[in-house]
Amino acid sequence: MSTDFRQAALDYHAQPTPGKISVALTKPAETQLDLALAYSPGVAEPCREIAREPDLAYRYTGKGNLVAVISNGTAVLGLGNLGALAGKPVMEGKALLFKRFAGINAVDVEVDTENPEEFINTVRLIADTFGGINLEDIKAPECFDIETQLIERCDVPVFHDDQHGTAIVTAAGMLNALEIQGKRLEDAVIVCLGAGAAAIACMRLLVSLGARREHLYMLDRRGVIYAGREGINAYKEEFANRTDKRSLSDAISGADVFVGLSGADLLSTQMLLSMADRPVVFACSNPDPEIKPEVALAARDDVIIATGRSDYPNQVNNVLGFPFIFRGALDVRASCINEAMKIAAVQALSELAHEPVPDEVLAACGLDALSFGPQYIIPKPMDNRLLGAIATAVARAAVDSGVARLPYPQDYCPTL
């Protein structure tokens, strides 16, 4: 990162007003009557109604369009355990993205504890304030149990974006890349370098979509996770393969797909060359991928490569998922975000990339043309069609799977 960019980032967050989000009023507050309605004595009326019928909080307050972005700062971006307060810029950033891309009000909540039960209890006790909970930057393996328990204990959707947002966007891009390469997910040999929250969620979702566990090799810092290996937790054990492969070099030979959620420059050109014909590489470590696209494409011209970076084609970015997933869930008042809703989001995101790209998206990206193919396997974040496509699919899946508390809205068309 250049010194100029670093300073620009610091200036962006500091000037002219510190931070990235603020509170805006939705009602007039100019006259004596306005204040009497907004606060005492008028506010007593909706309080009485909500005490009588709790669901009326959705009518008389902003709860139904309010999401909490909650973290304890134990896994901030790729920076590690920086603590709750140091994670606040990230949580504010997520709140900004909720508002910018889906019109959802969001606030950040930093919980200063590494004790999972303390964190769970804190979130549980404040959950009813919000229409949904977006968990963020919580280290594995604690994040799995934290999310599971909060889903069970809270009456609003709870979604760990590092797990499921990453998985949804990765899966959508993967389905399209394999289609372009003339391959099927159920036949593909997949190597996943990384065994944290995002990696495990990605592989779980790919299995739900048809990938075969016996074709899947997951690696952590100690190498391939194989059946009988000692010292692995229950989440890694889920992907223990019966194999004599032990290293990345072993696993990658002949593989169709590489998914990297690990660290910079860990996939060598020699390893890439050992992969099957027409391979798919998702090198998602940020800011430096497991292999740089220019290096990969120089080594072989039949590879489709995606990264987490905006300065390369095929960016795997969670902003393509979570704002629109929550929009659909909130609009039918879903009690959770279940597997059917996640798969619906994958399919909607995948299908949108097949559509002609609007001129305004080309202009925003500084491009003259863009169409479905090796350099465009997934929509761009600035594509305004994402909101309608994904939110609609998620809302419909929530209703069809029985977790919606409201019927599917007639002529539903979410807009900013």
The answer to whether residues 306 and 134 touch, using CB atoms and an 8 Å cutoff, is no
Q: What are the backbone angles phi and psi of residue 367, rounded to the nearest 5°? A: -120, 155
pLDDT, residue 387, reads 97
Task: Bin 265: left if φ > 0, else alpha if -120 < ψ < 50, else beta.
Answer: left
**Mean pLDDT of the 168-181 span:** 98
Distance, CA of 179 to CA of 349 (rounded, Å): 14
| CB proximity list for 58: less than 8 A, separation 6 or greater | 64, 131, 333
Q: Where do we find the tokens 């937790």? A: 233
> Is pLDDT of 2 > 80?
no
The answer to whether residues 320 and 329 touch, using CB atoms and an 8 Å cutoff, is no
> Is pLDDT of 278 > 90?
yes
Distance, CA of 238 to CA of 79 (rounded, Å): 27
pLDDT, residue 416, reads 77
Query: For the domain bounded by 12-156, which CATH number is listed?
Result: 3.40.50.10380
pLDDT, residue 114, reads 97
Q: Kindly state the DSSP code that residue 313 receives in the 8-state scheme.
A: S
Where are the domains positioned within the chain?
12-156, 165-307, 318-400
Distance, CA of 77 to CA of 357 (rounded, Å): 30
Distance, CA of 173 to CA of 355 (rounded, Å): 14
List b or e across 286-309, with b for residues whose CB sees 16 or more CB atoms inside 10 angstroms: eebbbbbbebbbeeeeebbbbbbb
Q: Are 12-156 and 165-307 the same fold in CATH?
A: yes
| 33-66 pLDDT tens trace | 999 999 999 999 999 999 999 999 999 999 999 9
> Is pLDDT of 413 > 90?
no
Establish whether the linkage from the previous residue to 141 is cis, with ω within 30° of 0: yes
Q: Which residue from 374, 390, 391, 239 is spatially nearest to 330, judged by alpha carbons?
A: 391
pTM listed for this prediction: 0.94
* Residues designated as active site: 39, 94
CATH architecture of 165-307: 3-Layer(aba) Sandwich (3.40)
Burial class of 95 by CB neighbour count within 10 A (0 to 12, 13 to 18, 19+) = buried
User: For strand 66-71 and strand 132-135, is the pairing parallel, antiparallel, or unpaired?
Assistant: parallel
pLDDT, residue 3, reads 79
Distance, CA of 322 to CA of 71 (rounded, Å): 16
**Mean pLDDT of the 68-78 span:** 93
Q: DSSP assignment of 280-294, as one string?
A: EEEE--SSS-SS-HH
Cα-atom radius of gyration of the chain, to the nearest Å?
A: 22
Distance, CA of 324 to CA of 398 (rounded, Å): 13
pLDDT, residue 1, reads 58
> Is pLDDT of 183 > 70?
yes
Q: What are the backbone angles phi and psi of residue 67, rounded to the nearest 5°? A: -120, 140
The answer to whether residues 324 and 383 touch, using CB atoms and an 8 Å cutoff, is no
> Is pLDDT of 376 > 80?
yes
